[in-house]
Amino acid sequence: MKITFYSTQPYDTLFFNRYNDSFGFELEFLETQLNVQTAPLVSSAAVVCVFVNDLVNEAVLKIFSERGVKIIALRCAGFNNVDINAAKQLGIRICRVPAYSPQAVAEHAVAMLLTLNRKTHKAYNRVREQNFSLNGLLGFDLFGKTIGVIGTGNIGKAFCRIMRGFGCSVLAFDLIANKELEAAGVQFVPLIELLNKADIISLHCPLNEQTRHLINADTTGMMKRGVMLINTSRGALIDTQAVIDALKSGQIGFLGIDVYEQEEHLFFRDLSATVIEDDTIQRLMSFPNVLVTAHQAFFTEEALTQITLTTFRNVGELLKTNNLINRQALLV
């Protein structure tokens, strides 16, 4: 059985080829992103494998359906890029990798938080130029600070535990409180209380109609002045212009983002010799207290191994039984 991959990077080829021996699929790797223009590139594949910025909307799904695509395997957890209802109507099964390494993403959120606080990125460059001055590198103790975590699923849970280990108070907001986390000292509070009290806020909820622009002019106004905001979840959780305004006024003191609303036009590519037309990302990158990474929170050896194995298992199981034992992995 052939699987056609979109948005293939060299590490995808490496990992999927490495683990294919025991599965025996025919693998076709396309570098192009999936959209209406590139959907017809699928020839005889019954399975398509996509990543976070591939567009799986109704028009794309119709093209796939006409070409006999039966399964779309997401090699990621988030599925905000997929029109689930259209897939249901066309009878295309969609699966994903619900939890490959929550630690990978949680640890990257912590890395961003520590970098913004202790300015290790600036210190690294300074010392290489024999500038051993400490001026401008002043940070703060994390111990005793209040962390606000929005979304306490797999990644949010891992992040809460790490921050408890630093000796922080952790306030959480989710649709459902988590007993295990409460036992570990995490306090579930209403969103407004979290926004009012947290020194650092980290976003770990999915992007959907309720959470789109959750961070906007109103909610940034409810935060503590000088708050640190970390987003490793999805770019559109944040109204970027509102956050730029809050950075300019000093309401937001630090911003760490691994995801960006318009990232599909930028991320996963080397654009170092290109004039970037997106003025919003350029403005963001010009702040000294903003750290941008290009959707790399998932990018660990362990996570890629799990993504690869789970994707192959999902496809194998769907082909065999038209179902998945892990219901969380099956979207349609």
Catalytically annotated residues: 234, 263, 295
Residues 6 or more apart whose CB falls under 8 angstroms from that of 218 comprise none
Q: Which is nearer to ligand NAI, 22 or 210 (CB)?
A: 210
| Residue 285 · residue 254 · CB < 8 Å | no
| Residue 236 · residue 212 · CB < 8 Å | yes
Please give the helix or strand (H or E) that residue 66 lies within, else none: helix 58-66
Among 71, 82, 112, 155, binds ligand NAI (CB under 6 A): 155
- Least Cα distance to 197 among 149, 255, 138 occurs for 149
> Would you count residue 272 as binding ligand NAI (CB under 6 A)?
no
Q: Which stretch binds ligand NAI (CB under 6 A): 167-175, 241-249, 262-270, 275-283?
A: 167-175
Q: Which is nearer to ligand NAI, 210 or 286 (CB)?
A: 210
Among 56, 142, 297, 331, binds ligand NAI (CB under 6 A): 297
Among 258, 261, 263, 264, binds ligand NAI (CB under 6 A): 258
**CA–CA gap between residue 205 and residue 232 (Å, rounded):** 10
User: For the window 189-208, what string marks contact with ligand NAI as x by the rule CB under 6 A?
Assistant: ---------------xxxx-
User: For the window 17-46, what string marks contact with ligand NAI as x by the rule CB under 6 A?
Assistant: ------------------------------
Sites for ligand NAI among residues 69-108 (CB under 6 A): 77-78, 99, 102, 105
Among 94, 95, 242, 259, binds ligand NAI (CB under 6 A): 259
User: For the window 110-149, what string marks contact with ligand NAI as x by the rule CB under 6 A?
Assistant: ----------------------------------------
Query: What are the CA-CA distances from residue 31 to residues 3, 4, 231 (Å)?
Result: 14, 10, 27
**CA–CA gap between residue 27 and residue 257 (Å, rounded):** 33
Please give the helix or strand (H or E) that residue 180 lies within, else none: helix 179-183
Q: Which is nearer to ligand NAI, 42 or 227 (CB)?
A: 227
CB of 235 to ligand NAI, least distance (A): 9
| Structure token digits, residue 241 | 């212009």
**CA–CA gap between residue 139 and residue 40 (Å, rounded):** 52
| Residue 144 · residue 164 · CB < 8 Å | no
Answer left, alpha or beta for residue 268, where phi above 0 means left and psi between -120 and 50 means alpha. Answer: left
> Would you count residue 251 as binding ligand NAI (CB under 6 A)?
no
CB of 151 to ligand NAI, least distance (A): 3
CB of 15 to ligand NAI, least distance (A): 15
> Would you count residue 179 as binding ligand NAI (CB under 6 A)?
no
What's the start-to-end Cα distance of the chain, in Å?
Answer: 20
Among 148, 151, 235, 256, binds ligand NAI (CB under 6 A): 151
- Least Cα distance to 213 among 237, 178, 189 occurs for 237
**CA–CA gap between residue 206 and residue 237 (Å, rounded):** 8
CB of 44 to ligand NAI, least distance (A): 31
Q: How many CB atoms lie within 10 A of CB 101?
A: 23
> Would you count residue 173 as binding ligand NAI (CB under 6 A)?
yes
Note the residues at the interface with ligand NAI (CB under 6 A): 77-78, 99, 102, 105, 150-156, 173-176, 204-207, 210-211, 232-234, 258-259, 295, 297-298
